[in-house]
Amino acid sequence: MDGLLKKTWTKFKYGNYLTKLLYINIAVYLLISFSRLFVFLFHFEDQSLYYILNYLMLPANIHILKTMPWTPFTYMFTHEEILHIVFNMLWFYWFGKIFVDYLSSKKLLYTYIIGGLFGAIFYILAFNFFPAFNDLVNISKALGASAAVIAVVVTISFYVPEYRMNLLFIGQIKLKHIAIFTIIIDFLSIAGENSGGHIAHLGGAFYGLCYGLLLRQPKYKFPKITFPRFNLRKKKSTYQNVRNMSDEEYNFKKAQLQKEIDRILDKIAKQGYDSLSKKEKETLFKAGNK
């Protein structure tokens, strides 16, 4: 058991942001599940004091939101039902891997967080503006990573729209078609039982659409934060060398690097971080910052 926990921590600590976000979502789900079990076993009269879920969900009521300003962030890591988190994390893992391959781990993190915040904004505005939600605004609360995940899905789908995925019973389908279908389904489902969830999804999709199309603009440049110790000229040269590689050479080099990272992580799990050589530590550090 100790070995499993140690290996899990190693994967989290040195993994990219796709791994970190997956682990955080799973950890929060387990925390909520233990909280629910605790409340059930001891049968507290005021369950709201002990059930941690109540402090993580996003309230639609603005007055309640003022007392819980952290919830626009925490709701996007919060799941109560097992099928909810399984579906979201599978969706996130499949599209997140494509996202990291074409863009970067850091952009994945930004897209997840900002997409989740857009989902929260759409949800709160809709429930406080449309008369259809007047009776629900005081009791409605949102939870789940769906808005953040859909932001990732839509971003990469409109960045590489012709990329094809193999879907069970369907076959190959382009990412742009998956994204468009998802957006249409969420829009048509607003009048259903989970109105708030579908509206939040559309918020994440809106950000993903804007960001994905922006990334495709040849003149668009990302703002960069630089530090004195970095050799920018050397970094630029490395980037040019990668761009001059063929697809086959790039994919081969990337696969070799991943094998080396997996070997280093296994070594840390078995022998500890201090057992790494200087070169292995540098390899791990560079991979974690891509």
Per-residue pLDDT of the chain (290 residues; tens, 9 = 90+): 666 777 777 777 778 899 999 999 999 999 999 988 888 888 776 666 567 888 999 999 999 999 999 999 999 999 999 999 999 999 999 999 999 999 999 999 999 999 999 999 999 999 999 999 999 999 999 999 999 999 999 999 999 999 998 877 778 899 999 999 999 999 999 998 899 999 999 999 999 999 999 998 876 555 554 545 544 444 443 444 444 555 556 656 766 777 777 787 777 767 766 777 877 777 777 776 55
Residue bearing tokens 């590489």: 160
pLDDT of residue 130: 95
Question: Which residues, other chains included, contact 190 with Cβ-Cβ below 8 Å and sequence gap of 6+?
Answer: 198, 199, 202
Nearest to 84 by CA among 64, 49, 57: 57
Instruction: State both tokens at 67.
Output: 């007392």
Going 147 to 149 to 150 to 155, the CA torsion angle's sign is positive
Neighbours of 82 (CB within 10 A): 10
- pLDDT at site 69: 96
Q: Where in the chain is the domain with CATH 1.20.1540.10?
A: 2-215
What is the CB neighbour count within 10 angstroms for residue 25?
A: 22
CATH code of the region 2-215: 1.20.1540.10
Q: What is the pLDDT at residue 217?
A: 83
Report the largest interatomic distance among the alpha carbons of the chain, rounded to a whole angstrom: 66
Look up residue 147 and give its two tokens.
């808005």
- Nearest of 176, 34, 187 to residue 98 by alpha carbon: 176
DSSP string, 216-252: T-TT--------TTS-HHHHHHHHHHHHTS-HHHHHH
Sign of CA dihedral 84, 161, 190, 70: positive
* C-alpha–C-alpha distance, residues 145 and 201, integer Å: 9
Q: Which residue has the tokens 């789908």?
A: 157
Closest CA to 108 of 74, 76, 153, 160: 153
